[in-house]
Chains A and B, each alone.
Chain A
Amino acid sequence: MSFVATPQFMHFAEPLPLQSGASVRDYTLAYETYGELNADRSNAVLICHALNASHHVAGVYADQPRSEGWWDNMVGPGKSVDTNRWFVIGVNNLGSCFGSTGPMHRNPDTGEVYGADFPVVTVEDWVDAQARLLDRLGVQRLAAVMGGSLGGMQALSWTLRYPHRVGHAVVVASAPNLNAENIAFNEVARRAIVTDPDFHGGHFYRHGVVPKRGLRIARMIGHITYLSDDVMNEKFGRSLREAVGQASADPYRYTTQDIEFQIESYLRYQGDKFSEYFDANTYLLITRALDYFDPARHHGGDLAQALAATQARFLLVSFTTDWRFSPARSREIMGALLRNRREVTYAEIDAPHGHDAFLLDDPRYLSLVRSYFERIDRSETS
């Protein structure tokens, strides 16, 4: 049983200018904090979330016993990111669907629900919004900013947009940009949503429906890419959902539409669950933010030149079987930091779980992060 977390909300009346040139006039950010900000305000750690997570990083909600935060195994009292020592902040990003202003909220300019009209937001926009929240919380400097996958991109972006405000960046299972294959997977997911008849061009709220079919398929394809071939085979293999008759009898049902294989059952379950709580427009927005992230873009594709602006020290972590954000992508970030003579530690964890590994309990991974944070403790407070 974890500690009790309480979501909080901060309203911002001043417009947030976005990378696209548009702006969000008035918005609210949902966030949570754990631990205490110390007297000299030197122990703040920002945790950035990935595609389908939120500000609820750790702990449980008082009235919901099974509501652990998405990184509860990493963050908490006595854990790798020890909230007895650190003041940890989780923020739900703009455009998401867990409490911060997003497509399901009203556009103050029109009085209508945003829907598809919610402006396209980028990793940089999220980082700017997070920085404003930190201003309000009285946090000028982060001892560390940390995130996995898309969250790692935000951590990297922090070191570029606010280099003087970041002591350390912990970038886990991430990449300096998406490759074509990754954009392709995102596009398949988006097409599944957009072509769902219940999508209504993104204005499904006013029709009182949800494009659940599209969301389910988007989640199914996402799930396939988060796992490794080995883990999928080990977990499901070719096993069937229910054996029909005796072992000697033919177990196939000879249907094309029923669930027969366990993997089908698993993916459908994940898809169903996801479509119950996730917003379709948010899915489109967040996958687009992933596609757009590319700090080398303004430097002729030269990542080393782009990362020249960083001042932070880095911990980069990748997982050997992660093919969605492969170790080679983390090594690109490492190489660019080396060329800039930045302080960097890189660990490549030999874990079988694919991209999902960054959320799982691997003792090598958790103790590495723990040791690194103990080192941050020594460097940031000495």
Chain B
Amino acid sequence: MSDLSVIRLLAELVPEGSRVLDLGCGDGALLDYLQRHRGCSGYGVELDDRNVLACVQRGVQVLQLNLDQGLSLFEDQSFDVVLQIDTLQHLRNAETMLRETARVGRQGIVAFPNFAHWPNRWSVVRGRMPVTRRLPYQWYDTPNIRVGTYADFEVLAHKNQLQITESFGIQDDRVVRWWPNARASTAVFRLQHR
């Protein structure tokens, strides 16, 4: 999900000049874009050594931390925006991290692979776990320890008193607003405390 077109789509959700915390920032491409094109500042959090190095090379401030250990280092509402782009599906404590995202940031932006995208449904109907461009892993060898759907996330957000201020799907680098739960391989939510 570091294609430039997707980065642009996500960046549009981030107000200009925001102070951003990007949880699971990967190689720092999105933060780099936000710094260059939207006047943002902030930090990425990343665990992988190669990604940490890539961030330093790009000039993105990165903190090498394990998100499963929580966000206690960060103060309440200390960021304008907290990003969780393709991170949720790797987290053991996904629900806690969602609450933490809303605690640390005035807004949270969450994106993850939508398991209810129709090719995935079709695969499961045929009795097999999906292997697609968006979910390219075999079931026995995947870093994604959670699979969820667009519709599932709405329920989880509601359960945690989080208000969804914007949501859409992304498919083939385009925004999907009509029936995203079936038509988009990526789910995107912007949320804040109720």
On A, residues with C-beta under 8 Å from B are 331, 334-335, 338-339, 341, 343-350, 364, 367-368, 371-372, 374-375, 378-379
A382 → chain B, closest Cβ, in Å? Answer: 11
Contact yes or no, B62 A346, CB < 8 A: yes
Contact yes or no, B63 A334, CB < 8 A: yes
A343 to B61, CA, bound (A): 7
Residues on B with C-beta less than 8 A from A346 are: 62-65
Contact yes or no, B64 A371, CB < 8 A: no
From A331, A344, A348, contact of B61 by CB (8 A): A344
From B19, B56, B73, contact of A368 by CB (8 A): B56
A-B contact number at CB 8 A: 50
Residues on B with C-beta less than 8 A from A347 are: 52, 56, 62, 64
Q: Which 4 A-B pairs have the closest CB atoms?
A: A371-B56, A335-B73, A346-B63, A348-B64
A58 to B156, CA, bound (A): 57
Residue of B nearest to A347 (CB): B64
Most buried by A among B53, B64, B65, B73: B64
Enumerate 25 A-B pairs (CB-CB under 8 Å) in ascending A order: A334-B73, A338-B43, A338-B73, A338-B74, A339-B78, A341-B19, A345-B56, A345-B61, A346-B62, A346-B63, A346-B64, A346-B65, A347-B52, A348-B65, A349-B49, A350-B49, A364-B49, A364-B53, A367-B53, A368-B52, A368-B56, A371-B56, A374-B57, A375-B59, A379-B59
Residues on A with C-beta less than 8 A from B57 are: 371, 374-375
Residues on B with C-beta less than 8 A from A339 are: 75, 78
18 more CB-based (< 8 A) A-B contacts, given A345-B55, A364-B53, A371-B57: A334-B73, A339-B78, A343-B61, A345-B62, A345-B63, A346-B62, A346-B63, A346-B65, A347-B56, A347-B64, A348-B65, A349-B49, A350-B49, A364-B49, A368-B52, A368-B53, A368-B56, A374-B57
Most buried by B among A331, A346, A349: A346
Give chain B interface residues in 63-101, CB to chain A under 8 Å: 63-65, 73-75, 78
Q: What is the predominant secondary structure among interface residues of chain A facing chain B?
A: helix
A110 → chain B, closest Cβ, in Å? Answer: 51
Residues on B with C-beta less than 8 A from A378 are: 59
B27-53, CB under 8 A of A: which get 1 and which 0?
A: 000000000000000010000010011
A81 to B97, CA, bound (A): 38
A350 to B64, CA, bound (A): 11
A374 to B54, CA, bound (A): 13
Residue of A nearest to B49 (CB): A364
A372 to B60, CA, bound (A): 10
Residues on B with C-beta less than 8 A from A341 are: 19
Residue of A nearest to B50 (CB): A364
Residue of B nearest to A314 (CB): B61
Contact yes or no, A375 B49, CB < 8 A: no
Residues on B with C-beta less than 8 A from A375 are: 56-57, 59
Most buried by B among A344, A345, A348: A345
From A344, A364, A371, A379, contact of B43 by CB (8 A): A344
A372 to B53, CA, bound (A): 9
Most buried by A among B43, B52, B56: B56
Residues on B with C-beta less than 8 A from A343 are: 61
Residues on B with C-beta less than 8 A from A334 are: 63, 73
Residues on B with C-beta less than 8 A from A379 are: 59
A347 to B57, CA, bound (A): 13
A343 → chain B, closest Cβ, in Å? Answer: 6
Q: A334-B73, A338-B74, A339-B75 are in contact. Are A344 and B63 (CB under 8 A)?
A: yes
A19 to B140, CA, bound (A): 62
